Amino acid sequence: MTESAITEKFWELPFSDLSYHEWELLCDGCGRCCLKKLEDDDSGEVHYTRVICKYFVEQQPLHCSCYNERTVLVPQCLDVKKSDIASLSWMPDTCAYRLRQEEKPLFSWHPLISGSGAAMADAGISVNGKTVSEEFVYPDGYEEHIIRWVGA
Ligand code: SF4
Ligand code: SF4
């Protein structure tokens, strides 16, 4: 199977113009969307925690150990392509899909712009080394793990 051609600066194009491969390349692999979130019942505000999905694997390019079955094994896990991305205002404010949906440019550290993962690592965007697996935290204890380094 041959890989489809990639359009120059495809990350500046509308979603509708992207091939499947280009769409997948937009993801920076930060892992932030795999963190557990809490929603304030009154304000609706979303708070990220450092508790992460048990299928998340650090140091792997894909991060997810069940990628093809993820929405089956983890009902809360999103297939972003199939979702109404306009309604995903709780996605991390650094997420490439959210940025492009809001017609904002990618950050200079994004691997597509910087050319490697080094700038992203320097900017502290990846969750690697900063999380605790959901296997070790009771769901009613998530509040103790709320973080400020990911915003919605
Ligand atoms: S937050 Fe966005 S860019 Fe980061 S891993 Fe999730 S989908 Fe990819
Ligand atoms: S199933 Fe995979 S993609 Fe979904 S939240 Fe868990 S680690 Fe992330």
Q: What is the pLDDT of residues 53-108, one digit of tens each?
A: 999 998 766 689 998 999 899 988 888 776 677 777 889 999 999 999 999 999 99
| pTM (two decimals) | 0.92
Please, which residues bridge with residue 39 across strands?
A: 46
Q: By three-state DSSP, how is residue 37 classified? A: strand
Give 86 Cα–ligand 2 centroid separation in angstroms.
20
CB atoms within 10 A of CB 131: 21
- The residue contributing the CA closest to ligand 1 atom 6 is 33
Mean pLDDT to the nearest integer, 108-136: 94
Q: Which of 46-50, 52-56, 118-122, 134-138 has the lowest mean pLDDT?
A: 118-122
What contacts 47, CB < 8 A, 6 or more positions away? 37, 38, 39, 40, 146, 152
Segments making up each domain of the chain, as ranges: 10-145
DSSP labels, 46-84: EEEEEEE-TTB-TT-SS-BTTGGGHHHH-TT---GGGS-
Give 95 Cα–ligand 1 centroid separation in angstroms.
5
